């Protein structure tokens, strides 16, 4: 076999491998974002439709409404009956992004039993003004890979939205719409607003995000470890991957419930803070 033939074969192999790599990167950068945008918009549409019919997803049990220690008293109480849902604007298709390992961006366990929403079904919408005026994502029950391709995932077994305990939510840092791309920008006092179709829940970030390992499931305990909280309260935990293009660690942010407001009273002031 001549040297020229060997070089030619190696060159063709390099071109073929390079083409496959480019196609894979294009798939991760473009196609997963497009699919995630379509999937999350579909979840928002389904939520709007259910709420407009008065069908609000609720856990099997609801904690008592009284404020818990170490948690500020809500500003108002929830409406006793379903009300018209707040608007859920569609998100534009995200910009191209490099690939990330397709793994769940948070610890895989959830300590303790708790009320359950329907697995894989959306039940709320989350807004984080720090991430942009148009940032809105559906929250679904469960943190399986397929679920996180359609939105954010609530850890099964953690507290229900607005309830006493720790309402813990996971989301991708990169790929599948990059919902938590700007996670490191979170600062103490930033609002995280959610609605279940009848009530607005405004949580406030308590501290800058913490870096930890995937096996550190204590961060989603009812009183989350390392959060600085020492007593039962109404808490929110957000988790995502770290580093930005990897999954060897996790970033964690904690918040506590600041106020509630019926959707009939309009959007909470946190949207304008």
Output the domain CATH number for residue 242: 2.40.260.10
d(CA 36, CA 175): 8
pLDDT tens digits for 181-231?
Answer: 999 999 999 999 999 999 999 999 999 999 999 999 999 999 999 999 999
Tokens of 155: 């850890």
Predicted confidence band of residue 98 (pLDDT cuts 50, 70, 90): very low
State pLDDT tens for residues 117-148. 999 999 999 999 999 999 999 999 999 999 99
102 has a pLDDT exceeding 60: no
240, 172 contact by CB (below 8 A)? yes
Q: What percentage of the chain has pLDDT greater than the value 90?
A: 60
Cα separation, 254 vs 239, in Å, equals 9
Res. 99: pLDDT tops 60:
no
Ranges 83-92, 99-108, 231-240, most confident: 231-240
What pLDDT was estimated at residue 19?
62
Q: Tell me how far CA of residue 225 lies from CA of 61, 72, 114, 169, in angstroms.
A: 25, 19, 18, 16
DSSP 58-82: --S----SSPPTTSPPPSSPPPSS-
What integer is the mean pLDDT of 253-273?
Answer: 95
Q: What is the pLDDT of residue 93?
A: 41
DSSP class of residue 38 equals H
The tally of domains found in the chain comes to 1
Domain residues for 18?
Answer: 3-272
With cut-offs at 50, 70 and 90, classify the pLDDT of residue 116: confident
Higher per-residue confidence, 83 vs 57 = 57
Could you say which DSSP state residue 197 is in?
Answer: S
Q: Mean pLDDT in the chain?
A: 80
Bridge partners of residue 193, in order along the sequence: 127, 202
Q: What's the pLDDT band for 31 if we cut at 50, 70, 90?
A: low
């Amino acid at each position: 076999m001549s040297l020229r033939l060997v070089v030619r074969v190696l060159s063709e192999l390099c071109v073929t491998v390079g083409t496959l790599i480019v196609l894979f990167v294009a798939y991760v950068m473009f196609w997963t974002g497009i699919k995630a945008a379509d999937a999350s918009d579909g979840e928002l549409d389904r939520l709007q439709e259910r709420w407009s019919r008065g069908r609000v997803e609720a856990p099997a049990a609801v904690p008592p409404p009284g404020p818990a220690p170490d948690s500020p008293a809500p500003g108002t109480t929830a409406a006793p009956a379903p009300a018209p849902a707040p608007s859920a604007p569609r998100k534009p298709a995200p910009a191209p992004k490099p690939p990330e390992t397709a793994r769940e961006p948070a610890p895989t366990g959830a300590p303790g039993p708790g009320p359950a929403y329907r697995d894989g079904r959306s039940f709320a919408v989350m807004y984080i003004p720090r991430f942009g005026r148009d940032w809105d994502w559906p929250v679904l029950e469960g943190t399986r890979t397929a679920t996180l391709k359609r939105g954010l995932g609530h850890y099964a077994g953690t507290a229900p939205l607005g309830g006493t305990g720790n309402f813990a939510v996971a989301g991708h840092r990169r790929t599948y719409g990059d919902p938590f791309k700007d996670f490191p920008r979170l600062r103490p006092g930033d609002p995280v607003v959610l609605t279940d179709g009848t009530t607005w829940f405004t949580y406030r970030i308590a501290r800058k995000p913490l870096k930890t390992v995937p096996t550190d499931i204590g961060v989603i305990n009812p009183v989350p470890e390392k959060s600085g909280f020492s007593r039962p309260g109404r808490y929110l935990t957000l988790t995502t991957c770290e580093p930005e293009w990897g999954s060897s660690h996790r970033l964690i942010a904690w918040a506590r419930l600041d106020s509630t407001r019926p959707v009939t009273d309009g959007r909470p002031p946190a949207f304008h803070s």
